[in-house]
Structure 1
């Protein structure tokens, strides 16, 4: 009896937060998309899958309401190998990218596993859906790094103004100063900032719910101060009073800050970088290229690769090595300098 009462209290108090939606525990078990999302350990993974499924749902005509996102209304009973294959082919013919289609397909398969457990589809349907193959990806895109002068140029553009510019500059400063993933940037709160031995750090929750401490360089700190100042908050307040607010929030077209609405779209960061690279006539650069840039700049400054691995949040040093670009001319000069 005591366990039942405790469980009832747990269900009542537990909520699943997905973007602007706050979903009570008792509703989760009614929808296969929610049960799948809720099974993911990392908050970042939950948000990512939520956006993927919602984008899929809206693209095929489903709409959410004030209480539930669009993916809750997908009719999974109609899914089988033929319908999923046709859906993927049709969307590809409408120029949807292969990587996005593969993310849709993976989300469909995982959700259908939950739908089977809820008796919404048959084992035959699930087996057929799992046979649908993902699209082969073109891996010819060359990863890029920017020179320090090019990074500085991204902060000297004529794009956004006022509060929006301060916010966007602060996000870019964290990307190129701290090497965070864009999902990690968006998950930051004001109490992520802390001071240790007189230096400013960010407490970051990365893949697999792994927490790491990332040092904040002075240039990044300066841009953060300007952004927080527009919100009447100081870094000292964040550190000492542990104010818990989203670090990045929405700014309207009239440059009005909406403290109640956290910025959650990772596409926004991609758009900022693309627009600023275009203005500076730089090659197209992705948010992840910022991480490669940070790794390369730190390595060239003599920072040990083991420390770079920790800053980027990699589990294996071999991954970090792939992020570091060393010009072939550097090798040539090094070899030419050898004297026997």
Structure 2
């Protein structure tokens, strides 16, 4: 039966055919319907090619990072422990999104269980917050290594690194935890069709036929408490780092010291710039086409897991040298 969904933004009309996509009243839908990229349904197979490529690179690259750091004892230091945490977070984040997205593109498997949708929402936002926290931890490591190198081994011991990692996970998990519970309590009586490739928080909440300002305000609060504060801490750390670098007397020493944190800076920019662009587009780009919103949201989630192992593999000499050695020698 042909149904027409008028989206939340005026001017976007989506045609969707599926017998299970009821628009009748229901309080708690058993399933949601993910449309994929609205307006570009005919190109889903072609769009899946770069998506699948990014996912494959993310999987291969992050597993290589984990493998190299595990095997190379000289890399068993705080910087690479944090890098391993980032790789694990990247693997979980990309896996929480891509398999379902590709099933929509390839097999038109648009249905997702209500509970599974909320679980996916929780994992996406939790691991985005974890990545942001790991970048703060890495900035702290670079700050101590450059600004107070003699105390680096005594300040950032293995137990301290483990406690920092645990604190990052607990902070993110607990702060994001209320979002699926808030989303679950709203009545959904308009439609169960989500014009997206995954269960993004506000994309789900906006389907509710109730005053959902609590969810909206809480989501914004988490963004500012996590991403906003993390960005401030990272900026403060690198302000001190740059001051220390430019105070060095020799140019080659300045370049060498700056090179030790170059990969981290590139990874930070690859994470925060798409995140900021996606946030501004979603909140204020009301005249932007819906399919562009969805594409930007996917790029924001998929690009960092793909780029991080490339950035660290190219910029970090120890990883690059070990990778070259592994590719030219038989692994014992």
TM-score over 0.5 (shorter chain): no
- Which has the bigger relative contact order, CA under 8 A and spacing at least 6? 2
TM-score (norm 2): 0.25
Max Rg structure? 1
Higher fraction of helix: 2
TM-score (norm 1): 0.25
